[in-house]
Structure 1
Amino acid sequence: MVSRPRQSPGRIVYAGFATRHHSGGVHVMTQHVRLLRERGHEAWLWLPDPEDRTDWIADDVPMLFGATTAIGADDLLVLPETPTVHGSDPAPGARKVIFNQNHFYTFAAGAPGEDFPGWSPAPAIWVVSAESRDVLSAALPGLPVSVVPNPVDGELFAPRAADQLRVSWFPKKRPREGSLLKRLLANEPRLSGVELVELVQAPRAEVAATLGSSAVFIALGHTESFGLPVAEALASGCLVVGYDGGGGHELFEAPGAWRVPDQRPLLIRDQVSSLIEDLDALAPVRAANRRWVLDRYPFARTGAALQEAVAAAWARPGADAVAVHPAAWLDTLGPHFTTYA
């Protein structure tokens, strides 16, 4: 007998944002939508405006559009952690989950009240790492927290042939330190002839190609819940040096990852230089990095955890409601929400 996925009683609607450039958080939501639909659920990505559709979201991701949408008593509404405004319930009565992809952003829209977020019924919380689970379970002990780990796409992120030695990094979360680090690396004699690549608003395919042809990836994470670029660099066969950003500490348990104390660019320079000088001997470690991360973060693990989290959410109360897209509260975050040093 062939077992078939168990159908959910209603829809699962993810409220997301269509950014001009690739957004890791929204991309993870689209992965959830696909995984849920593969398991027999009716899952959707909800954007506030049809004009928001962007070319980096695949055409096979089903979408809803509108500033508001009806949520049935059997439906499940999944909301991002930002902007969550205390006391401003986006769907009073509806069954809700906050998909918290960064615990440092939990209270970004203002100081929380005692019963945060003050919604009815109270939401469950999904997180992407054990660190986020532990932090939010301590901060919000009245809300159930489930871990739905991020998957790592080992087909897209894989080692590739390289025409020269390459070191790469994302400067987005530490732009000023990134500029300083680039000069330090460029002036280092041990890195003569090594191509230094900053990944700035690059399409996902370009990121994969760059990581796959890089020998070393420099992690410049800041206030992270997980740090997906580090995981994707490991899958690409990179050696990793840098900052774990807090929530990314579990990724630095990989055999070829070296954690550096925060804001110590000279230590990053020296560690990168040492690895480049010893690169031939480290080939087995690069291969071990890939095996390590793909063993721990496969799509199957994410799908199974997601299935359990959905089942638990469905056991919570829900009623018919008209949901307001969280874009309505974006102005609570302020202009400097994602500004870093």
Structure 2
Amino acid sequence: MGGVRVLHRHVELLVEAGVDAFVWLPTEGYRYGWFDSPAPRLYGAELALTEHDLLVVPEGGVRPGVDPAPGARKVIFNQNHFLSYLNFEPDQPYPGWQPAPGVWVVSQESAEVLAATEPELPCSLIPNPLDLDLFRPAAQRVRRIAWMPRKRPLEAKLLERALRADPRSAGVELVALQGLPETEVARILGESSVFLALGLYEGFGLPIAEALASGCLVLGYAAGGGQELFEAPGTWQLPDQRPTMLADAALSMVVDGLPDEDGVRAAARDWVAQRYTAQTATKALRTAVDEAMAQPGAACTAVHPMNLSDPELGAGIMRNFLRAFGMPELPVGPR
């Protein structure tokens, strides 16, 4: 999932900026298969932290009554405000750690939500870094409509039926992006005419930004955190859960085109390139790290926050995540 890639990218950027940073994974030697990353890694269910360390914990690994590193300096990296209380009841204190952590977010909407729900926790906005060398327009663009069905599988089926039933779809490629490596997704987006945003409960909506960087026109749903992206040129936000309206708009865009269409596509890429780059992310990260390091912290033995070495705890976190998005439950165990 995209959030895992962003975690690795943060570590890459911090290392490039001279910060001693690592990705911590509980399973020895484990690597993700769908993207490559040079980020240094640490492995094991436990990790010795010093008073000079900062532990960054994804929001999905935060559980009531479980402090992964008591006394240590910590930050919650919240990539999706909808998942903030995934494992919490409304009356349970969040997160209940000592010392209290800061929170890092990736969108303006998330910053506003966390400021309202947790006003005592300092919040920093870290713009998502796009790989503009990977996600870029191809030399030639084809009549293609692409989308990612994972978040809305039922609506995606309706959408594809509506597209295929419309006579205007003759000669238009219809591509559902799923189960593909990052490089292949980037290639397809770079050649596509239109990307349909089918996000749900989004903290940011990274595929929209990547599609804009690739020169796609984007139609679809902001789904929360993606609202800021629909301020970009070449975007059209539609009412939620209107698949036939989305199909009609997409085919009209491909068949009829736009005045100065190449200019709109270029402006869209320039828009995201001014906001979501390695440079803007690194600057925000360095500031956020400096602010976090100014807070107190002690040495301790940390337990990996996802605790995937414990099948029951790991399965419980994943079960809550799947339920939150209405996705089918799958067997989960240590990897």
Residue 239 of structure 1: CA displacement? 0.3
Look up the match of 1:13.
none
Aligned-residue CA RMSD (Å): 1.5
8 Å CA contact retained: 1:219, 1:230: yes
Query: Are residue 290 (structure 1) and residue 276 (structure 2) matched?
Result: no
Residue 59 of structure 1: CA displacement? 5.5
8 Å CA contact retained: 1:76, 1:95: yes
Query: Are residue 331 (structure 1) and residue 315 (structure 2) matched?
Result: yes
Distance in 1 (CA, whole Å) between partners of 2:12 and 2:147 is 29
Residue 161 of structure 1: CA displacement? 3.6
8 Å CA contact retained: 2:87, 2:320: no
Residue 60 of structure 1: CA displacement? 2.1
Look up the match of 1:246.
224
AA at the equivalent of 2:319? P
2:319 counterpart SS class: coil
8 Å CA contact retained: 2:142, 2:193: no
Residue 35 of structure 1: CA displacement? 1.1
Look up the match of 1:78.
56
8 Å CA contact retained: 1:175, 1:340: no
Distance in 1 (CA, whole Å) between partners of 2:64 and 2:195 is 39
Residue 255 of structure 1: CA displacement? 1.2
AA at the equivalent of 2:270? R
Distance in 1 (CA, whole Å) between partners of 2:5 and 2:61 is 18
Look up the match of 2:167.
189
Distance in 2 (CA, whole Å) between partners of 1:112 and 1:99 is 20
2:60 counterpart SS class: coil
AA at the equivalent of 2:316? T
Consecutive aligned runs of 4 or more in structure 1 exceeding 4 Å deviation: none
Structure 2 counterpart of 1:340, from 311, 315, 326: 326
2:197 counterpart SS class: strand
1:46 counterpart SS class: strand
Aligned residue pairs, count: 319
Question: How do 1:1-341 and structure 2 match up within 5 A?
Answer: 23-58=1-36, 60-113=38-91, 115-162=93-140, 164-279=142-257, 281=259, 282-328=261-307, 329-333=313-317, 335=319, 337-338=321-322, 339-340=325-326
8 Å CA contact retained: 1:168, 1:199: yes
Change (3 A) 1:197 1:336: farther
Distance in 2 (CA, whole Å) between partners of 1:290 and 1:59 is 24
Distance in 1 (CA, whole Å) between partners of 2:72 and 2:135 is 38
Distance in 2 (CA, whole Å) between partners of 1:163 and 1:59 is 29
TM-score (norm 1): 0.90
1:183 counterpart SS class: helix
Residue 285 of structure 1: CA displacement? 1.0
Residue 34 of structure 1: CA displacement? 1.3
TM-score (norm 2): 0.91
